[in-house]
């Protein structure tokens, strides 16, 4: 499958989410969109990212931007995770989190990178314009320490 590229029409999909079924292009309407993926519910980085994004709700709304997240965990896991985000990040998550346990959306958006994992998604963010074109893609791997990163004075950098 070819990779999704800047300027491509963002793939449309219909998928369950924490706020009910989502028909992506219909849900997006004439707004800008930010779609970001996470490898799993309850991961510390993902929890803090969703918390901060939630706190910026009014700023996104001023700019007519809709936010939607994706996790490859089942819908049943999203409720407890959202409660955890709300509690630990002192916020209220008000945007949908897509349940992508079947990896349907992950495959459409090329989120499974076999050199990182055969099944887990990499963390990615897509900015999509009102014409449904992809305008920005940021992808970064799951955090891994270098061999000496845990030592005092070690670099502690991504590998």
Is there a domain that residue 7 lies in?
Answer: no
Query: Which residues on neighbouring strands pair with residue 115, listed in sequence order?
Result: none
Is there a domain that residue 24 lies in?
Answer: yes
Calpha distance 140→138 (Å, rounded): 7
Confidence of residue 158 (pLDDT cuts 50, 70, 90): very low
Is there a domain that residue 30 lies in?
Answer: yes
Pairing relation of β-strands 14-15 and 22-23? antiparallel
- Of the two residues 22 and 119, the one the predictor is more confident about is 22
pTM of the prediction?
0.80
What share of the chain in percent tops pLDDT 90?
Answer: 47
Is there a domain that residue 6 lies in?
Answer: no
Is there a domain that residue 159 lies in?
Answer: no
- Of the two residues 149 and 13, the one the predictor is more confident about is 13
Is there a domain that residue 75 lies in?
Answer: yes
- Of the two residues 24 and 113, the one the predictor is more confident about is 24
From 4, 46, 50, 67, active-site residue: 46
Residues 48/66/125/70 CA torsion (nearest 10 deg)? 70
Q: Which domain holds residue 24?
A: 14-140
Predicted confidence at residue 150, as pLDDT, reads 43
- Of the two residues 54 and 41, the one the predictor is more confident about is 54
pLDDT tens digits, one per residue of 86-120: 999 999 999 999 999 888 998 888 887 665 555 55
Is there a domain that residue 125 lies in?
Answer: yes
Q: Is the per-residue pLDDT at 77 higher than 80?
A: yes
Closest CA to 136 of 147, 144, 128: 128
Calpha distance 106→101 (Å, rounded): 9
**What CATH number does the domain containing 92 carry?**
3.40.30.10
Confidence of residue 152 (pLDDT cuts 50, 70, 90): very low
Report the number of distinct structural domains present in the chain. 1
Would you call 46 a catalytic residue per the annotation?
yes
């Amino acid at each position: 499958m070819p990779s999704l590229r800047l300027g491509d029409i963002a793939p449309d999909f219909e998928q369950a989410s924490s706020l009910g079924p989502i028909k992506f292009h219909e849900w997006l309407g004439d707004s800008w969109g930010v779609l970001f993926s996470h490898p799993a519910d309850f991961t510390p980085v993902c929890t803090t990212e969703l918390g901060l994004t939630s706190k910026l709700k009014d700023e996104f709304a001023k700019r007519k931007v809709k936010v939607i997240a994706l996790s490859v965990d089942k819908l049943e896991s999203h409720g407890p995770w959202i409660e955890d985000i709300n509690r630990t990040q002192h916020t209220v998550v008000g945007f949908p989190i897509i349940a992508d346990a079947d990896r349907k959306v992950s495959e459409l958006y090329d989120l499974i990178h076999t050199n990182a994992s055969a099944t887990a998604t990499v963390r990615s963010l897509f900015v999509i314009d009102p014409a449904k074109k992809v305008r920005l893609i940021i992808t970064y791997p799951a955090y891994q320490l270098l061999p000496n990163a845990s030592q005092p004075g070690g670099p502690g950098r991504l590998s």
